[in-house]
Amino acid sequence: MLRVLAATDFSSDGRAVVDFAADLVRQSGGKMYLLHAVEPCMIDAAGCISQEKEATGGKSADREGTHHHTTLLEISNQRAHCAAEKISKKWDIPVYGKAEEADDVVECIFRFCERHNIQLLVIGNRHHSLLSSILLGSTAARLVRAARIPVTVVPCVPQRG
């Protein structure tokens, strides 16, 4: 049974990655994994996000007055689970969704692959400007260079309107 990981950031232009991986899993009879690596700087920048807002200065409170906040990582993990359910229903395949905190996105993805015995990694390649690729590098390029398993790179083309 083929175990395929689709690394995603939930952007609409990355839908091709998910569809490619899901179609491959459906044809092979395998299992699909969906991972969103969340960098700590994004979690810190977002802080805590209120689930419900009342007229108490934007804070949420339950009946006992206890405030409930959801972190960006928790929201991302819920989103990954929800996306996995939708993909599973659409493609009629088993899908496991997860979000994890990642100091280094590349290492996070490879550790996930090792823990779950992933056999194929499917990633997207956005077309950045030459300057941004030189200055920032490309996560896709780093993943391909450091790969310990086969990697399929799917072009991410923004959805038109």
What's 64's domain CATH number? 3.40.50.620
- Number of structural domains found in the chain: 1
- Is residue 46 in some structural domain? yes
Residue 26 clears pLDDT 80, i.e. is over it: yes
pLDDT band at 135 (very low <50, low <70, confident <90, very high): very low
Mean pLDDT of the chain, nearest integer? 80
Whether residue 1 contacts residue 25, with contact meaning beta carbons closer than 8 Å, is answered with no
pTM above 0.75, yes or no: yes
Question: What is the structure's pLDDT at 42?
Answer: 62
Scanning the structure block, which residue is given the tokens 């992933």?
A: 118
Whether residue 65 contacts residue 56, with contact meaning beta carbons closer than 8 Å, is answered with no
Greater confidence (57 vs 144) lies with 144
- Is residue 160 in some structural domain? no
* DSSP 8-state class, residue 160: P
Task: State which residues form the domain around 21.
Answer: 3-155
Q: Phi and psi for 39 in degrees, rounded to 5?
A: -75, 140
Question: What is the structure's pLDDT at 138?
Answer: 76
- Is residue 116 in some structural domain? yes
Question: What is the structure's pLDDT at 130?
Answer: 53
